[in-house]
Amino acid sequence: MIKKIRNGLKAYKLSNLNFRLLLYVLAVTCIGIFCIGSATKGGNFQFKQIFGLALGLIIMIIFSLISYRFLFKFYFVIYFATIGLLLSVLLFGTVNKGAKRWINLGFTEFQPSEVAKVFLIIFLATYLYKRYETINTFKTLAGAVFFIVIPLGLVFLEPDLSTTIVIFVTICAIMFLSGIHYKIVTGALIISIPIICILGYYIAQPGNAILKGYQYNRIVGFFQNDNEEAQQIMYQQKNSLLAIGSGGLTGKGLANNDITSVKNGNLISESHTDFIFTIVGEELGFIGGAAVIILLFLIVLECFITGSRAPTLSGKLFCFGFGVLIGIQSFVNVSVATMLLPNTGVTLPFVSYGLTSLTSMYLGIGIVLNIGLQRTKARV
């Protein structure tokens, strides 16, 4: 085993290490650390995020050195570990604001659904790779759907609708990119569109059995001006939009004492997590907000480029899937902060506070870097 690892390390070429991706990730993480410190007035959260960065770097280095081919061999072990983690949070998790998403470890809280995002990409990428020759058969596709529905259901039961949606979109992207025949994709769309329309009509009805009351008001109430409870929930988003707009071109400065600051007026809750982009917009202005969005876009782009050069389908699907995950989660978070979407409660990758979220992202980056170290020549 040690000999195989040593031989694998010798096969890596330092020239293949994606330094651009590493630079983008570190840059956007550092911006997040500064903004977290400003949002919490230099509190303990900033120190924990710095610790999370250090831990994330260690995890990233480890997984960039371990061959992804070796890691992906244990895809079913990873899958059942994911199920175990998601079950444990339902059984032993702590309740916060009506949701049971965290396990209290004493020094911090662990959120299994964040790890599940990366683990499920590993599982599905390898599952489809192992069955590539039969990928268009009912058995393979039904098996993939069966294995994915279980963890999605567990995440939904926490309840965590936003994470469920993010994972679902990522899974759909991986399935689409795996080489499924266009006739199957077309058929799936023809069947799913009416189902989505019927489901949408059903959840639009008050008291439906699918959405919790606060979920209904967040999503459907977003379009109802006469829904008082929904308007109270949207109050935070309105303040977020006001704060971002007041930042102007260059912002009010980190940790400022401006009496007109929305942050200083304590008008934004969760400003260090779900609404961290509000702090970026108000204190770093349009330039800071654009920098964060561009850096995240470049990270997604580098994941796609690495995937296009991956030596195996499993590596390709992981890189593209992980890139889609970062992209869709970033889009949703920024859209919520700018009031383009209902308040869904997802973090901004690499920027929002959260040890589990940050280290999970760095784990995924480590695997992408390893795939890049084993890349093939770029295809014309």
Residue 358 forms part of a structural domain = yes
Per-residue pLDDT band at 2 (split at 50, 70, 90): low
Asked whether residue 204 carries a pLDDT value surpassing 60, the answer given is yes
Instruction: Please check the confidence at residue 12 and state whether its pLDDT lies above 60.
Output: yes
* Domain membership flag for residue 379: no
How many Å apart are CA 378 and CA 366, to the nearest integer? 21
Q: What is the mean pLDDT of the chain?
A: 86
Q: Confirm whether 169 is domain-assigned.
A: yes
pLDDT digits (tens, 9 = 90+) for 271-305: 888 899 999 999 999 999 999 999 999 999 999 99
pLDDT band (50, 70, 90) for residue 380: very low
Predicted confidence (pLDDT) per residue in 304-363, tens digit: 999 999 999 999 999 999 999 999 999 999 999 998 888 887 899 999 998 999 999 999
Express as a percent the part of the chain with pLDDT over 90.
Answer: 51
Indicate the range of 66-70, 164-168, 187-191 predicted with least confidence.
Answer: 187-191
Query: For residues 256 and 24, which has the higher predicted lDDT (pLDDT)?
Result: 24
CB 114 within 8 Å of CB 354 = yes
The whole-number pLDDT of residue 201 equals 67
Q: Report if residue 184 sits inside a domain.
A: yes
CB-neighbour burial class of residue 91 (10 A; exposed 0-12, middle 13-18, buried 19+): exposed
In a domain, 380, yes or no: no
DSSP symbols for 323-375: HHHHHHHHHHHHHHHTTSS-------TTTSS-HHHHHHHHHHHHHHHHHHHTP
- Per-residue confidence at 214, pLDDT binned at 50, 70, 90? low
Provide the domain count of the chain.
Answer: 1
Cα 338 to Cα 75, 104, 368: the distances in Å are 38, 32, 30
The answer for residues whose C-beta is within 8 angstroms of residue 250's C-beta and 6 or more apart is 284, 285, 286, 287
Q: Is residue 116 part of a domain?
A: yes
**201 found inside a domain:** yes
Helix then strand count (H, E) for the chain reads: 14, 3
Cβ neighbours for 277, distance < 8 A, ≥ 6 positions apart = 240, 244, 289, 292, 333, 334, 337, 338, 348, 351
pTM for this structure? 0.90
Instruction: Give me the pLDDT at residue 370, please.
Output: 94
Q: How many CB atoms lie within 10 A of CB 129?
A: 19
Domain of residue 140, residue span: 2-373
